[in-house]
Amino acid sequence: MQSRRGFIKTLTVAGLAGSTSVGRSAAAAATPPLAEPSDGRAEWCHWLTKVTDPVLGALARRELRATMPVEAVNVKERAEYTHLEALGRALAGLAPWLELPVDETVEGRERARVGALAREAIDAATDPRSADFLNFAHGGQTLVDAAFLAQGLLRAPRQLWGKLDGRVRGNVVAALKATRAVKPPVNNWILFAAMVEACLHHVGETRDEARLFDGLRQMDKWYAGDGWYGDGPEFHTDYYNAYVIQPMMVEVLDVVGDEAAEWRDLRAKAGERLTRFAAVQERMIAPDGSFPVMGRSIAYRCGAMQGLALAAHRRQLPAAVEPAQARGALTAVIRRTLGAPDTFDSGGWLRIGLAGHQPALAETYISTGSLYLCTAAFLPLGLPAADPFWTDPAQPTTWGKAWSGTNISADHALKASV
């Protein structure tokens, strides 16, 4: 095991060390870099907190609007939404790590710090008296990022929702309900409405049955085969199966899957589809962490691999992909997309791009806050440090095995009945 001093030196040489913003309370106090427990877990923790600390720290101080730079094609338009985007997306990726039991390890103390910061950020974002009371009620984009916030709450029910006091819970519920005014278009957005309703149901509120179940039924009708859903009536060659569709399908069904035979059957199918999709994603990753640059929203960087990350976190990887393979593939993607020069500005905020600063990759709806969906690659941090994902010896990816001459088995599509 590497010493703390040696690990810090490694991070510095690799360009990983960076400044972070901290909140106003003792819980938000800075902590020293983590020592390496095993096979790069500390590196993952470092990257995740480096990305999210500026967002959570500024919100905890109720200074997010005042301090977060907004990079976008149309800054004036996106400034209405970008701050909620940053919070919802940051928490969606952070939540599984925060949900691990509190302990007195170096990582455990860091996790407690970030968890307290996250709860303060949620309070600031949903408190009508806050200077950082965020926009949940005006414009369609509010539904999208309220759904990512809801996803984060479902992924950390004890450490996020469970530790909010009654006042904050009431504010969160009101904020989520405000998005019911948004009618989702006929595409992946139907799952944002379903996710919000699943979260409200989970915390004891009355749900909107149509917004919850119509989205599940419609997305199932758009299933295209071999683990891929269409994004609406047409199939799109992009990463929205990873960004939104696969995760929200299986996680909404986690909430309602036991209610009727229809949902139990769909939950089983959605799980098998996720496993197959994860197999495809693992095969797309080259040994250097690169992957095909295709489709919109590519500036979400390593978040494009959320399908693989989620399957690893849920222990639903395909038989041909060992946990150590998934770890190696995701580590390579994280390093390639977050470690490129000019990924962060001088204040530690993400900049638009896939591998560096590439503002021309931004669609009109992309802004600084949007970029925090990159945290979705870090879902396996919700697995304990003793899990085989972290402890098994390193293995080459399928790409590495195939192109080095290893005699691997042929790949096969998912049967049509799933």
- CATH code, 247: 1.50.10
109 in a structural domain: yes
Cβ atoms 366, 301 nearer than 8 A: no
Pairing of strands 228-229, 223-225: antiparallel
409 in a structural domain: no
Quote the pLDDT of residue 50. Answer: 98
pLDDT digits (tens, 9 = 90+) for 158-207: 999 999 999 999 999 999 999 999 999 999 999 999 999 999 999 999 99
pLDDT digits (tens, 9 = 90+) for 73-107: 999 999 999 999 999 999 999 999 999 998 999 99
Quote the pLDDT of residue 26. Answer: 34
414 in a structural domain: no
Quote the pLDDT of residue 326. Answer: 98
Helix (H) / strand (E) element for 240: namely helix 240-240
pLDDT digits (tens, 9 = 90+) for 371-399: 999 999 999 999 999 999 999 999 999 99
Query: Is residue 113 predicted with pLDDT exceeding 50?
Result: yes
pLDDT digits (tens, 9 = 90+) for 211-229: 999 999 999 999 999 999 9
- What domain count does the chain have? 1
For residues 123-151, give the mean pLDDT: 98
Quote the pLDDT of residue 23. Answer: 37
Query: Is residue 33 predicted with pLDDT exceeding 90?
Result: no
For residues 256-262, give the mean pLDDT: 98
Query: Is residue 333 predicted with pLDDT exceeding 60?
Result: yes
Quote the pLDDT of residue 104. Answer: 95
176 in a structural domain: yes
Give the integer Cα–Cα distance in Å for 183 and 371.
Answer: 24
Question: pLDDT confidence of 408, banded at 50, 70, 90?
Answer: very high
Query: Is residue 12 predicted with pLDDT exceeding 60?
Result: no
114 in a structural domain: yes
Quote the pLDDT of residue 102. Answer: 87
The per-residue pLDDT of the chain, averaged, comes to: 92
Give the integer Cα–Cα distance in Å for 312 and 326.
Answer: 7
At position 352, the amino acid (one-letter code) is I
Give the integer Cα–Cα distance in Å for 386 and 207.
Answer: 38
Question: pLDDT confidence of 5, banded at 50, 70, 90?
Answer: very low
Quote the pLDDT of residue 244. Answer: 98
Question: pLDDT confidence of 237, banded at 50, 70, 90?
Answer: very high
Quote the pLDDT of residue 335. Answer: 98
For residues 324-341, give the mean pLDDT: 98
Helix (H) / strand (E) element for 228: namely strand 228-229
Give the integer Cα–Cα distance in Å for 26 and 30.
Answer: 9
For residues 257-286, give the mean pLDDT: 98
418 in a structural domain: no
User: Which residue is associated with the tokens 């909107």?
Assistant: 208
Give the integer Cα–Cα distance in Å for 397 and 180.
Answer: 43
Instruction: Enumerate residues 6+ apart whose C-beta is below 8 A from 284.
Output: 291, 292, 399
Residue 375 structural domain: 4-403
Residue 287 Cα distances to 240, 299, 336, angstroms = 23, 20, 10
Angle 189-202/209-221 helices, nearest 10 degrees? 140
185: left (phi over 0), alpha (psi -120 to 50) or beta: beta
Residue 138 Cα distances to 84, 135, 207, angstroms = 12, 6, 21
Return the sign of the alpha-carbon dihedral for residues 189, 192, 194, 196: negative
Residues above pLDDT 70, as percent of the chain: 91
Burial 4-21 (b: 16+ CB within 10 A, else e): eeebbeebeeeebebebb
pTM over 0.85: yes
408 in a structural domain: no
Cβ atoms 67, 83 nearer than 8 A: no
DSSP structural state of residue 139: S
416 in a structural domain: no
Quote the pLDDT of residue 303. Answer: 98
Question: pLDDT confidence of 277, banded at 50, 70, 90?
Answer: very high
Backbone angles phi, psi at 223, to 5 degrees: -60, 125
Query: Is residue 256 predicted with pLDDT exceeding 70?
Result: yes
